[in-house]
Amino acid sequence: MTTGEAEKIEAAFFEKLEKAVLKKYHHYIGTSVQNITCKKLDGKTVGSVNKPVCRISLRAMHSAYLETKKDIRFLMERRGKLVERLKLSFGKIAGVLAYRLAKANIINLCDGCASCDEQPCDTPKLNQILALRCAVEYIGIKYFRIPEDIRKELLYSFSCRHVNQETLGLVFDTILATCEKKQSTP
């Protein structure tokens, strides 16, 4: 394979990744926000009153995508010739994706919700939840197949602990291996 062919494949991969993540965010916002119950709305779910609660910042999404791209390239360059033999795992890419999406402020509250005095509600956690969901789905696992305590620990780590892409990559590789092992066990 020539360098030009490799660059075309890489460019196609990153373009497909960015489009898929943006599509998932639009889908997740539609479903996740629907289930948030608001005290201000007399216990109704936010989605039932047809008021915008949050929006996607395309600038933040694109910035997270560019950082993801840099990180993945850095991982490939750092591994040098090992990549030809071992290649980056799905978990490593998912770790970079989760880290960059969780750290970016992609989901922003609309004015009415942001100024609400009934905080905290579940809406501010959406950045981390959606980042985790995108990464888990990237490795081919349904989000709710992961035990709740592991999901909670990952979300806690995003918001309160120092985690990096490499650590998250190991976590996602482990989750993938565990789920594959459970499927192959009768």
Q: Would the pTM of this model clear 0.85, i.e. be above it?
A: no
Tell me what percent of the residues of the chain surpass a pLDDT of 90.
13
pLDDT tens, position by position, 157-184: 887 888 888 889 999 999 988 887 666 5
pLDDT band, very low/low/confident/very high, at 98 (cuts 50, 70, 90): very high
**Is residue 179 within 8 Å of residue 173, measured between CB atoms?**
no
CA atoms of 17 and 99, how far apart (whole Å): 15
Alpha-carbon distance values, 176 to 74, 109, 138 (Å): 23, 33, 10
pLDDT tens-digit map of 155-164? 888 878 888 8
Please check the confidence at residue 85 and state whether its pLDDT lies above 60: no
Per DSSP, helices labelled H in the chain are 3-32, 58-79, 82-86, 90-103, 111-114, 126-138, 148-160, 165-184
